[in-house]
Structure 1
Amino acid sequence: MPEQIKDLFVPETLAQQDNSRAFNPKDFLMKYLRYLPWIVMSAILFLVLAYAKVRYSTQIYRVQSSLLIKNEHDAGGGKGDKFDELFMNQQSMNLSNEMEILRSRMVLERVAKDLGLQLSCYSKGTVRSSLLYLNVPFDLQIAKILDSSQAFSFKVQVVNNKQFLLDGSKTPIEFGEPFQLGGNYFRLLRDTNISLKNYNSPDFIMIWQPLPAVANALASNLKVFHLNDQSTILNLSFENENSRLGSDVLSTLMAVYDSLIIEDKNRIAFNTLRFIDERLKSLKDDLNGVQTNMEDFMIQNQVYNLDEQSKNYLGIMSEGEKEKNERAIRLQVVEWLLEYINDSKNKFNTVPTNLGIEEPALLQLIAEYNKLQLERDANLKTTQANNPMIVGLEGALEKVRSNIYQVLLNVKQAYLIAGNNINKRESAVKGQIRSLPGKSMRLLDIQRQQKIFEELYSFLLQKKLETSISSASTISNSRVIESALIPGSLVSPDTKKIYMFYLMLGLLLPVGAIAIMELLRDKVDNRGEIEARTAAPILGEVGHSSDGQALIVSRNSRSFISEQFRIIRTNLQYITGKKDKQIIMVTSSFSGEGKSFISTNMGAVMALTGKKTVIMEFDIRKPKIISGLDLKRKAGITNYIIGMSNFEDLLLKVEDIENLYVIPCGPIPPNPSELLLDKRLDELMEEVSRHFDVIIMDTAPVGLVSDAVNLGRFADCTLYIVRQGYTFRKQLVQIDELHKEKKLPGLCLLINDVKPTGGYYSSSGGYGYYGGYYYGAKSGYFEEDKKEKSSFFLLNWWKRWFS
């Protein structure tokens, strides 16, 4: 057993322990266990903050609905539907355009106006205010607003069902009585059907905003998205603290969108019917003139029936005539369209389409022209005609109108060329019928002209009827798939995420603070740091003493610290061996590490064994031994060295401890270091060795002066004091150098002022607070420090965990 204990103080053995020292979970846990209460308290505090945030945050609900956009062009599918498709401007729907329309300010302003969202009322609570919707206890009637582009608000405090206070005024106002505020005139009417007991307080906040501001607020909370490219279903969602309001906003939005589509279709149908009516009136006059000419010709020329011969030739010409008639009709339609385009009255009207002219370029331009006209009309509802956007649209309309006119000219030219070709073929046939009477040919021309006008008239009548029927039965191309339901889903606050976030914050902040403290800490905190930074052996540890006395050890003392000094005395045997005379030098890195305290109690614990012990006060610059023992100063070491005192004059007996003496330092000389090199010091040490069994040399700190190194020639071993939480870590490098270079004899470390915290530990089997010995301090084997006792259990608990 002694050999095993002695191995603990062999440098090679300690080095092997340091090299084999890996991460030990138990060491890590015990080191940081003292911070656990702070981490727990921080987590609890942040959980309380999370609860407050969840409790007092405004709850935001998401209300959703879905809208089907029907593509009527694809639904028809047949070639015969081309007239309806182009005439009524029903093209394939662009879902991106429809999504922008739903989010447009024009549409949202109509929604806000329909729901009356310009005026908002909030119920004022203790922490936050709540939006009221449909359950406002009073109605605000606005008589006059000075500036409708500026928002305003005011506070209302209801006194009773008949009176209220305005903006903290002490003068009550009667409900229904007109009042003025900032140049605006209002009247507040009390709704007695709604009880004020339903609200947290009688205080309310009224806010009025202009339509554009309300539309922007709605747009920020509205989301319109398309699930996939295979469907034409749009999903709409609205987030607001009042789910009923969100439901009404979505329902009204879909209704406004439907009405816009119907309005656009009706506008196109109206312009088309007006155009057809104008052409019918012109055709009626032309048809009457042709009929009159034919009647006059037949009366004047006595022509009532065609010859049988003409019937044969007519059969040959029938196919050519049919094609010629179709070309003539289309040519007339082109002429009308040219006339319509050039007419300044129609500058901002839509152009009728698909009146029998099947030219793709023309149809595309007319459709683009009509779309720009509709967009201009829609923007004129919310802006002035001189707006740059309107001017830009008019410029685009003028450009498209010019392109339509040019295309119509090209179509006309193409029809004329085709007509000339038909005429050439007809001339060849007419050469065969030149023998027919001229009267018959003239009558045929008149009848052909009459037929053209009749067919064109019938065509327009048919289109007018179809347009009227279509206009009367106009329906929207959208359908609500899923209505907005309340209460909707709660999206904020997200209770789970908030609690998790605050819990993580409550854990990470103290952990981060602890990590920063560990990084910034530059003083020795535990035994593990010492063992990691130096190979010098550790002789033992001395706990923190709350007693103000310098002398702790006595014959009858059973305190924990006294027992620690007895353990150090036992361990010291394996350093000094079995020498009869022991000279022990005590030093440290700098002042304040407890060197004199250790020297005093080491002397006492050695004297208790029956050995005659003396403490020599070699810390000449800053002596503390005599004052600590409350002894009267007399001649000392410096007096002996300069030859002014004898050895017998130096000794001071410590009354409380048998066999314990002190040799004071004497007066402080101007040259302490040189004085300690005097030969008289050697004589003094020889004299002391003859009279005492144990000599304790309390020297000056080796980190400040060289006294300890000079006195090391007399010592058998050196107790180097390291104070927990006081000695700098960089001092351990100096200690390690002193140990390796053997500048101090038998250097071993003594850890002083060790506090009973979870952060301190020693190596396995040691006597440190973590090593197991401290946890026996309250076992009844030792006397408890009276100053550490407290009649308050919670105070003791607090000191233990939060010290």
Structure 2
Amino acid sequence: MDPHQEYIYQEENIDIKKFLLRILGNWYWFAISLFIAITAAYLFNRYSEPIYSVSATLIARGEEKGKTGMEGFIEGMEIVTRQVNVEDEMEILRSYTLTNQALRELDDFEISYVLVGRRGIKESKLYNRSPFVVELDTLYPQLPGHKIYITLLNREEFRLQIDEHFDIDRVIKFGEPFVHPPLAFTVKQRNPEEFDPTSWSSNKFYFVVNNLNALTNAYRSKLSVEVNDPKKGSVLTLTTQGFVAQQEADYLNKLIEVYIDYGKEEKSKNATLALQFIDEQLKEIVDSLESVEQEMLEFRLKYNIIDLSQEGSAIAQKLIDLQKEKTMLGMQQKYYDYLLGYIRERGDFSDVIVPSVMGVNEPLLNNLIARLTELYTERTTLEHSAQRFNPSFTLNTRQIEETRQILLEHVNSIIESAALSMKDIDRRMAEVEKEINQLPVTERALIGIERKFQVNDEIYTYMLQKRMEAGIAKASNLPDNRMLDQARAENAARVKPKTSMNYMIALILGFVIPVVIILLIDFFNNRIVDRKDIEDHTSAPVIGSVGHNKTDSEIPVFLQPKSSIAESFRALRTNLQYMLREKGQNIVLISSTVSGEGKTFIATNLAVIVAMSGRKTLLVGLDLRKPKIHRDFNITNETGLSTYLINQSKLDDIIHPTDLDNLYVITSGPVPPNPAELLETGRMDAFMEYIRKEFDMVILDTPPVAVVTDAILVSKYSHANIFVVRHNFSHKNVIQFIDEIYKRKDIHNISLLINDIKLQGYYGYGYGYGYGYGYGYGYGYNYGYGYGYGSDYYSDDDNEQGSLFRRLLQSAGKRNRK
């Protein structure tokens, strides 16, 4: 495997491990979050009122080619059929008109009854199961939408409370009218024989007089109409949801009933219009027929003529046939004129008489009228379900105008064609008239009378047939649609609250929310929390890590030499050998970027641990601005390096031995007014040369490099320079500052040390990670929470065994090592 790819692979694993360790390190966040989430889910499931889904199915049967079942034996029945478009029927079912009518016919929907829980939190809709009913006085407007509370006191009385605007609180008997304009109603027991106020979980109720318009819009919005089989498009499923399954079932059944009645009314209206038109035509024909019949009788009696001659009969039949053709064409022309005026003057096609009534067989005309009727029906539906500026309404308007224009042009064309046909009939009748003129006068007159009689008689017979067809169609008016499956409350499905789903969501949120919080904290946290934060911002090596000091002493390596923190300083001592590789290199500078990162703590304990190895060690307090080392060793600071540099003290006077063998300390001395200038004097050069030769190891505690330049001035004497950064304290831009120094080589042989690592939540390579030159890794590799290869060897290990998660991490670390 390519080394670079292997490195990336390892880094990705480290990131995952870091994330998991962060989660385990904050396990109590997850425990709290899960407890809150599951409790919230329980309360939601406990106090949410269930919502049920109820469905019903119906068959919307579209008629093929305008035929009905009766047309199999009666021709012309197409005059009362209705073309069905499934999408239009779906819109009709969702229309405001049908929904409003259905709700008006459902008496129990006028008032909503609600049971209030004992704690006043949970409410239950009762529909027609309430122990009482309210009868409204229709002379008063009432207060739609306002809650009126009823508290059952006993079998005879109840407490009435109306808080909004009225401040009414009184005890009333059942059946006693309550009048307080605009309110007026009577509360009665629903079933007096079974009435028992104590049988309910709570004795507090309220009722609301529903606003019919708001209720209509609410039921329209929650009604779902779907086609079971989009290819056939005949079976529709209607679904609605609500708090009471029986109430929703009653609504669906009533809506389908109203819808079926609507279809029957539409068909019945078409048949009625056809009958009215036929009756008007029959009235004119009957008058004409009676007149001609009387005239023919008088003529026969006067001239004593019974029948025409054979030649006269033949000529008369020709003329009668032409006259019938002319009369039928004239009736059709009258219909065309009626239709033309209807199209121009009417704004809808709800009561147009279809062409088949007059025997007009024009497929295009029939299709255009059917299409226009369908578009106007669609517009009526859209007027209740969409705004005027809705794209569907705009499209419908454009289609109506286009279809009207096409229909007008087609009717005008038919009228012109009919006029030409009429001229042709007149021409042929004129030729027959010439033949009739050659007959005797008496026979010619009789032919004229018989012609009028037979034409009127046949037209009368034709119209009677049409009237009979329309009458039968009206009498046998069967609905195009029928209910397939009625809505049933017992088949209702509970859709909310979804108990299992809510608990599942709670579990997910209980885990996700802490993870998101941890990620956000990490994202916005500009402090150093792990080793990777250092490696991402500098190429300078990391020499090691030091854990958190749990003791009250500033020198824990002396008080607890077998502790884990003491072992981390031993690892640091070992790693220093790889920085001080040349003979005579023995001066180590300890600094930081800002105050508070623990440089003095590191310098002091490093000096102690080196001295404990048997080497003669000197700890020099070079922080001339904020002296501190003298307090750790209980040494006077009246003399020190500052007094030596100004030639007020001798070297022997400022070098103090300590209680630890091989460890000597030089304090900073009194704070001078010019520390930087003192560090650049010749005495400083002589001082550094002396201590380099006199001691095996020299540890210099210098001021923060980002605050003053003292450390940079002194770095020319040092052989190794360690910058201390503090876990969860130092900012990442501090690392960038050190990286700039490292790249510019302002200070040579730089490394970084991570201080004050809290065992919980840190992700890195443990205390005493080896120096980055490939020579080895020192002691105590440590992944995560301070547990690793060196566990159980430190005197402070027993203090950590109480945490289950820490023991798990320790076990995981051992498995990873294997």
Query: TM range, normalised to the smaller chain?
Result: 0.7 to 0.9
Matched, 1:66 2:66: no
Partner AA of 2:245 in structure 1: S
Q: Is 1:223 paired with 2:224?
A: yes
Structure 1 distance, partners of 2:535, 2:690, is 38
Distance of 1:599 and 1:380 partners within structure 2:
87
The aligned residue for residue 570 of structure 2 is 566
| SS of alignment partner, residue 481 of structure 1 | strand
Give 1:254 deviation, angstroms. Answer: 1.6
Q: Deviations 1:79-103 (Å, cap 9, x if unpaired)?
A: 98663212x3x24323333222222
Render the CA deviation track for 1:202-246: whole Å, top value 9, x for unaligned.
333322233332221111011224442544333322233333223
> Offset of 1:190 from its aligned partner?
1.7
Q: Could you say which residue in structure 2 is the equivalent of 1:599? A: 603
Question: Residue 527 of structure 1: CA displacement?
Answer: 2.7
Q: CA deviation at 1:508?
A: 4.2
Q: Which moved more, 1:253-262 or 1:773-782?
A: 773-782
Partner of 2:786: 774
RMSD, aligned CA: 4.6
Q: Distance in 2 between matches of 1:337 and 1:688?
A: 127
1:672 positional shift: 0.7
1:384 aligned partner = none
The answer as to 2:176 corresponding to 1:164 is: no
Say whether the 8 Å CA contact 1:122–1:132 is kept in structure 2: yes
Q: What is the match of residue 6 of structure 1?
A: none
Change (3 A) 1:551 1:272: closer
* CA separation of 1:166 and 1:535: change in aligned 2, threshold 3 A: closer
2:113 equivalent among 102, 115, 121: 121
| Deviation sequence 1:420-456 (CA, Å, 0-9, x none) | 233223124325xx3x543333233333333333333
Question: 1:484: which partner in 2?
Answer: 487
Contact 1:761 1:769 in 2 (8 A): no
Alignment partners' CA distance in 1, 2:538 and 2:62: 85
Which of 235, 239, 247 aligns to 2:241? It is 239
Aligned to 2:360: 358
Evaluate the alpha carbon distance shift between residue 91 and residue 425 of structure 1 in structure 2; reply closer, same or farther with a 3 A threshold: farther
Rounded to whole Å, the distance in 1 between the matches of 2:377 and 2:627 is: 103
Q: Is the 8 A contact 1:550 1:629 kept in 2?
A: no
Tell me the secondary structure at the aligned position of residue 544 of structure 2: strand
Greater shift, 610-619 or 284-293, is seen at: 284-293
CA 1:150/1:375 → structure 2, altered by over 3 Å: closer, same or farther?
farther
User: Equivalent residue for 1:34?
Assistant: 22
Distance 1:404 1:118, change over 3 A: farther
Report which stretch shifted further, 74-83 or 256-265. Answer: 74-83
Gapped regions of structure 1 (runs ≥ 5): 1-15, 382-391
CA contact (8 A) 1:350 1:373 kept: no
One-letter amino acid of the structure 2 residue matched with residue 167 of structure 1: I
Partner of 2:124: 130
1:106 to partner: Cα distance: 1.4
Structure 1 residues 426, 372: CA separation in 2 closer, same or farther (over 3 Å shift)?
farther
Rounded to whole Å, the distance in 1 between the matches of 2:307 and 2:686 is 171
Instruction: Write the letter of the residue equivalent to 2:53.
Output: R
User: Aligned-pair distance for 1:724?
Assistant: 1.9
The structure having more radius of gyration, on CA atoms, is 1
Q: CA deviation at 1:593?
A: 1.6
Deviation of 1:401 after TM superposition, in Å, equals: 13
Q: Is the 8 A contact 1:223 1:238 kept in 2?
A: yes
Question: 2 CA distance for matches of 1:18 and 1:411?
Answer: 89
2:791/2:797 contact within 8 Å kept = no
Q: Is the 8 A contact 1:68 1:479 kept in 2?
A: yes
Shift of the alpha carbon at 1:631? Answer: 3.0
Correspondence for 2:78 among 72, 85, 98:
85
Cα deviation, residue 120, structure 1: 1.9
Alignment of 1:271-310 (within 5 A): 271-306=273-308, 310=309
The reply on whether 1:257 has 2:259 as its aligned counterpart is: yes
Match of 2:715 among 712, 716, 721: 712
Counterpart residue identity of residue 237, structure 1: T
**Which residue of the partner structure matches residue 561 of structure 2?**
557
Deviation at 1:269, TM superposition (A): 3.3
Shift of 1:175: 1.8
Partner Cα separation in structure 1 for residue 793 and residue 612 of structure 2 = 19
Tell me the residue number matched to 2:431: 425
1:271 Cα deviation (Å)? 4.1
Residue 617 of structure 1 aligns to which amino acid in structure 2?
G
- Distance (whole Å) between structure 1 residues aligned to residue 596 and residue 276 of structure 2: 109
3-state secondary structure, aligned to 2:136: strand
Report the Cα offset of residue 674 of structure 1: 0.9
Aligned-residue offset at 1:796: 9.8
CA distance in 2, matches of 1:215, 1:680: 99
Cα distance, 1:474–1:190 mapped onto 2, change above 3 Å: same
Match of 1:467 among 464, 470, 477: 470
User: 1:466 offset after TM fit, Å?
Assistant: 3.2
The reply to whether residue 267 of structure 1 matches residue 255 of structure 2 is no
Q: Distance in 2 between matches of 1:551 and 1:378?
A: 89
Instruction: Check 1:184–1:228 CA distance in 2 against 1; reply closer, same or farther (3 A cut).
Output: same
Match of 1:643 among 623, 630, 647: 647
Q: Give the residue type in structure 2 aligned to 1:327.
A: K
1:594 corresponds to which letter in structure 2? Answer: G
Contact 2:780 2:788 survives alignment (8 Å): no
Which residue pairs with 2:593 in the alignment?
Answer: 589
Amino acid at match of 1:85: E
Distance 1:659 1:774 in 2: 31
- Report the CA distance between 1:290 and its aligned residue: 3.0
Distance 1:760 1:371 in 2: 73
Change (3 A) 1:646 1:483: same
User: Is the alpha carbon distance of 1:529 and 1:769 closer, same or farther for their aligned partners in structure 2, counting shifts above 3 Å?
Assistant: farther
- Judged with a 3 Å threshold, the aligned counterparts in structure 2 of structure 1 residues 577 and 71 are, in CA distance, closer, same or farther, namely closer
Partner of 2:250: 248
Instruction: Pick closer, same or farther for the CA change 1:319–1:191 going to 2, 3 Å.
Output: same
CA distance in 2, matches of 1:128, 1:448: 87
Which residue pairs with 1:784 in the alignment? 796
Deviates more, 1:406-415 or 1:131-140: 406-415
1:712 to partner: Cα distance: 3.2
1:755 pairs with 2:763: no
The number of residue pairs the alignment matches comes to 761
Q: Which residue in the other structure is 2:189 paired with?
A: 190
Question: Aligned to 2:639, what secondary structure does the other structure show?
Answer: coil
Query: What runs of 5+ residues in structure 2 fail to find an aligned partner?
Result: 385-396, 771-776, 811-818
Q: CA deviation at 1:183?
A: 0.7
Partner of 2:210: 209
Task: For 2:441, give the aligned amino acid.
Answer: G
**Residue identity in the other structure for 1:255:** E
Contact 1:105 1:215 in 2 (8 A): yes
Give 1:143 deviation, angstroms: 0.4
1:579-728 to 2 correspondence within 5 Å?
Answer: 582-655=586-659, 657-686=660-689, 688=691, 692-728=695-731
Q: TM-score, normalised by structure 1?
A: 0.81
Once the two structures are TM-superposed, the CA of residue 676 in structure 1 deviates from its matched residue by 1.6
Change (3 A) 1:21 1:618: farther
Is residue 99–residue 220 contact of structure 2 (8 Å, CA) maintained in 1?
yes
1:717/1:341 Cα in 2 relative to 1: closer, same or farther (>3 Å)? closer
Q: Tell me if 1:112 matches 2:80.
A: no
Q: What is residue 177 of structure 1 aligned with on the other side? A: 176
Q: Secondary structure at the match of 2:738?
A: helix
Aligned-pair CA distance for 1:621: 0.4
Deviates more, 1:223-232 or 1:134-143: 223-232
Deviation of residue 565 (structure 1)? 2.2
Tell me what 1:23 maps to. 10
Secondary structure at the aligned position of 2:604 is classed as helix
Structure-2 separation of matches of 1:770 and 1:758: 13
Which 10-residue stretch deviates more, 321-330 or 773-782?
Answer: 773-782
